[in-house]
Amino acid sequence: MKKNNKQSNAHKPRKSFPVWGIIILAVMFFAAALPLLRSTRSSNVATEVTGAPKIKVDQEYLDYGDVKNGGTPIRTVIQVSNVGDQTLNFTEAPYIELLDGCCPPVPAIGSLVLKPGESTTLVAEFFMHGQMGSRHDFRLHLTTNDPAEPDKTISIISNWVD
């Protein structure tokens, strides 16, 4: 008599959908952000400071108000420029500080070096689900060699509701 060594599929643990869902969202985010992040370009940004680099962003405060928990992610896109006459260097990768809430994303930036007049794009995507709903207060830190403002911060606020 032959023994059947096959196990029943009913007793095998299943892979968790949320893990795959998060992986798929991350891949979709980076695929969508890649064209933006590749763009470091000269712009018509006027020089505002001589003798030093100078960071300038197109938004310093973002309040998304009430956002559906588990709904569409919030995609934050910020234009970062060097309005100084010397090269602007990021001294560390941009990061998000959590003040209230949970789960800050890792921002992606096109370039960590901006020559005078150049701009780049920074992208961060926020997504809350399940028990992550509530008020969220984040500070995006842009740490550079700008002597006047070495740690440029951007406030990002949202309230995730069911």
Overall pTM > 0.85: no
11-45: burial string, b at 16+ Cβ within 10 Å, e else:
eeeeeeeeeeeeeeeeeebeeebeebbeebeeeeb
Residue 62 is predicted with a pLDDT of 97
Q: pLDDT tens digits, residue range 85-138?
A: 999 999 999 999 999 999 999 999 999 999 999 999 999 999 998 888 899 999
Q: Is 38 within the bounds of a domain?
A: yes
pLDDT tens string 116-129: 999 999 999 999 98
Strands 61-68 and 151-161: parallel
Asked, for residue 138, whether it belongs to a domain, the answer is yes
Domain for residue 31, yes or no?
A: yes
Range of the domain at 152: 17-161
Q: What is the CATH number of the domain that holds 141?
A: 2.60.40.10
Asked, for residue 12, whether it belongs to a domain, the answer is no
How many structural domains comprise the chain? 1
